[in-house]
Each structure stands twice: as C-alpha cells, then as structure tokens.
Structure 1
Amino acid sequence: MAIKLVTVDIDGTLLTNKREITPQVFEAIQAAKAAGVKIVLATGRPIIGVENLLQDLQLKDPGDLVITFNGGLVLDTATGQEIIKETLPYDDYLDIELLSRKLGVHFHAITKEGIYTANRDIGKYTVHEATLVNMPVFYRTPEEMTDKEIIKTMMIDEPALLDAAIAKIPQEFYERFTIVKSTPFYLEIIPKAVSKGEALLHLAETLGLSKEETMAIGDEENDRAMLEVSGNPVVMANGNPELKKIAKYITKSNEESGVAHAIREWVLN
C-alpha cells in the first residue's frame, strides 16, 4: 500500500549535525510533495523554532501541517489554525517545578511566546534551547505563571546530573505525565495525552489514512510514540539503539541524508 503521510523528526534526523538541510533531503521532500505525499515535520520545538525550516522546505502551502511541542500543538502551516492544542494545568506545572527543585536540576516551561524559568541562575541549556528555537527567555517566579498557557516543561542539566535526577522521579509522575528524554541534557515533561504518536494518529484519521499508509522517521526516545503507531517506522543509522529494535527500516545517518534515502527507497520507489 502506498505511503501518503510521512512524519519527520528534525534534530538528528532531518538536519545534519551542523543543523543544515542537505540538497538531497530538500529534493526528496519536494519530489514526495509533487507525488501527493504529505510531509509533516514532527518536533519537540515550538512553532517559532521551526518556521524557517518550513519556509526552506516549502511546507507552508494550503493543507501543509506541522507537529510541534512533541504533539502538544499541531498547526496548519498556511493559516496557523490549531488542529491540536494541549496545555499543562497550572497545578501540574507547580508540581513539576517543585520536583525539579527537590532533584536539584534546572527547569523551564515553554509557551507559544517564550521560555520561562524560575531559576535565578539561568541554566546554560535553557540558553541553548532559546538559541536553538529562536525564543526569548523570561525569569518568572512560579506565582507569576498563573496566566501562562504552558505547552511543555523541561528539566535541563548536565547529562550525569540529569540522569541522577531521573532515577529519583517518583512513579506517580510517570503515571500523570508523558516523560521523554530528547537529548542527553533534555528531559521533556508534557501532558499525558500528548505525544508525536497521538498527533500522527489524529492526522491519519483526519486524512482518512490507514496505518500502512503512514511512515515515521526519527532517532531519539521522543520519537518512539510515532514510530510505534506508524505502519512504516524508520530509524536513522545514528539513532538510539533501543529504537532500532522497533524499526521496519534503518536508513542512513543524518550526515548522509538519511531522510532522503528513506523517502526515495520506501516512499517513491
């Protein structure tokens, strides 16, 4: 059965290590679009952090879609219409923020407008995230966050420190939230109903597509949900070894235009 919807992770998948789109990837995506295949970027980034990529890849035409915040916000890229929007209740934010303090790791919350942290010593990975996604950083106490529509929270710190903190997270939090590690220094904590997988399922249903007509391409744990629900899960050669166990296909690395190889080999062939 022909593949008609492809969700593509960004960092470590679509982009090279220098955060560039290779000509081969650009050309493969244009060829897929011309063949009527819907290409949907699926990322933990906020929408502002992916706008330039949507422009560069010509994915802002009527009907084009994007999955942001790991599924917390899904948009029509041409109109800005919100297809899915899931926010974190203020009381949940308070619980996660307090837990981060108890665990001794840096923490921030993200809305459509910016990154908010109650850490007076703003962590270097908060600064890194702000630079990566082109968002401003604001210092706000937890009490000043009551009016914010929080879509994602993140514990961010040195890998060893973060891993030690993760080992101490109470099971209750895993039952209440979706918790995924997207890089060695990022732990993302989002509403329980939110994942790239749920977003993929919603889009497939809306478009009237079967599981077999979908493909997901990723490299890290925050891609697991969409890989598990897709009929054609593709993991990058540079991907997490645990994810490769659930892959139908292993493509080339992000440095070798692996997304282009996957599209041409298993979508357009």
Structure 2
Amino acid sequence: MIKLVAIDIDGTLLNDKREITENVKNAIQDAKKAGVKIVITTGRPLPGVKDILDQLNLREEGDYVITYNGALVQATDTGEEFIREPLSKEDFLEIETESRRIAVHMHAITSSGIYTANRNIGRYSVHESFLVNMPLYYRTAEEMGDLEFVKMMYIDEPQILDSAIEKLDKEFYEKYTIVKSAPFYLEILNKKASKGNAVMHLADKLGIKVEETMAIGDEENDRSMLEVVGNPVVMENGNPEIKKLAKYITKSNNEDGVSHAIKTYVLEEK
C-alpha cells in the first residue's frame, strides 16, 4: 500500500490554465482521508504554495510540504522546519561571481524575499516574484553577504541561459545540486538538497518504507525524487527523458493525470 505521495506543481498538479481541477482536488482529499500523506514538492518557497495548500486542505496538523526543490521540509500548519539545507556565505559569493563570469542574470532567495545584485533587473526575477508571492529587492553583492539563502537561480532568456550553462565548469556541478526547472531557470542549491533527499528524509521520519512511496512529476527537476521512490509516476506531458524513469505513465496535466494516478495506483479504484 502506498502511504506517501509527493506531487510536483507546474505541469503536474496544475493544468495549462494553472488550475487545480475538481477531479484532482477530490482525489487528493480521498487519499488524505484514507491516511495517505500528500506532500506538495516544489521549487517554490512556502509563500508561493500557500494558496495551493489551502485549496487542497493540506494546512492541517500532520501535513507537510517540500519547498525550494528539497532545501526545506516544513509542517504546513506552523511552518516549522524539519530539514533545512541552505547555502553558505562562501557559496553565495562563488555563485554570484560565477554569474558575472558567464554573463547571466542571477537572484538569490531567503525564506522571506528575493534578492538580486543586477542593476538591470532581469524580467524573470520579476516573474518569480509574482509567481511565488515574495518581495524582490536590489542589493549589491556586498550588502547580501550576511543573508541566509536557501537557493540561488540563474535566470535569463533561454538562449542566453543555455549559452551560459555551457560555460560552467564540471566542478561547479560537483559542488552544488543544480536543476533546470524551466527553459529560463537554472536553480542552484546546497549539494545535500534535492527533492529526492527530502522525500526520503520525510518518509523515514514518518516510518514509511521506500516501497510505500510514490512521486508524480514531469520535468528534470523531478528526477531525483522519481529515482528514489518505490513508485515513480510521470505525466503523459512529461519530458521524454524523465518518462524513462517511470513505473507508471499517467494521463496529462490537462486530463487530470494526478487524479488518475491516485485513483488507479493509490486508492486502487477499478
């Protein structure tokens, strides 16, 4: 029996209109009533998922959320942190310096705000601020030295970002967890932070076995959790490379794929 389901948001939980359908809401509620832990697992910070948690009735005692692509695991009712893997001051300085070397926009995110040292603030920093409902601040790199950042992001037009990524040294990938979550987003985290590590840590805390875990995702930043759970599920609209990891392929995000996966493989409705 599956006892924990980790669910990605964009391209998975949400349809292309950025909505959670009634069928998906109902399936999640049915699973929760059956005692299954439903864990929203996202690159967003907590302020960026509160509306979703409210819609899904996942703000009660015993509900958890994985944020910042695994750098934080929090109780949704109190915000209490169970796992926290931030970047160090030295990490920030290295990542910020590297952004200037490879000529790409950058911002860094604390638990309460988004900070950029780019005088010409990138459009995707503004986009992220609206998307996750967090304030955006300009500071020089020196002024940001004492802040604790949970993750940093290289953000730019896809062709500019791809060109910048090609300039990154192999050692950079060995030192940090790096995931491309959108054509214009490259996320950089503490090496210990990943969706996969967070899901496994939470399952262990709750006494849930690997074979009792499921993850549902669609993109490269879901890879780590799909690789470690007992039951990896990929959306029909998912990245072809990510589909190779799947035990099950569910319907697309526009066809209530999360609902189909929960009803078929968790609740085992015929």
TM-score (norm 2): 0.98
Aligned residue pairs total: 268
> How far has the Cα of 1:147 moved from its partner?
2.1
Distance in 2 between the 1:110 and 1:13 partners?
24
Q: Deviations over 1:188-222 (max 9, x none)?
A: 00000000000011011111111110000001111
Distance in 2 between the 1:182 and 1:201 partners?
21
Structure 2: gaps spanning 5 or more residues: none
Is it true that 1:26 corresponds to 2:8 in the alignment? no
Structure 1: gaps spanning 5 or more residues: none
Q: Deviations over 1:58-79 (max 9, x none)?
A: 0011100000001111101112
Is it true that 1:249 corresponds to 2:248 in the alignment? yes
Residues 44-193 of structure 1: pairs in structure 2 closer than 5 A: 44-193=43-192
Distance in 2 between the 1:37 and 1:77 partners?
16
Q: Deviations over 1:72-111 (max 9, x none)?
A: 1110111221111111001111111111111111100001
Q: Please tell me the residue identity of whatever aligns with 1:106.
A: H
> How far has the Cα of 1:168 moved from its partner?
1.1
Q: Deviations over 1:113-145 (max 9, x none)?
A: 110000011111111111110111000111011
Distance in 1 between the 2:213 and 2:260 partners?
16
Distance in 2 between the 1:147 and 1:254 partners?
41
Q: Please tell me the residue identity of whatever aligns with 1:84.
A: I
Q: Please tell me the residue identity of whatever aligns with 2:154.
A: M
Is it true that 1:218 corresponds to 2:217 in the alignment? yes
Distance in 1 between the 2:121 and 2:236 partners?
34
Q: Please tell me the residue identity of whatever aligns with 2:92.
A: Y
C-alpha RMSD over aligned residues? 0.7
Question: Post-superposition, which runs of at least 4 consecutive aligned residues in structure 1 deviate over 3 A?
Answer: none
- Identity of paired residues, percent? 65
Q: Deviations over 1:9-38 (max 9, x none)?
A: 011110111211000100000000011100
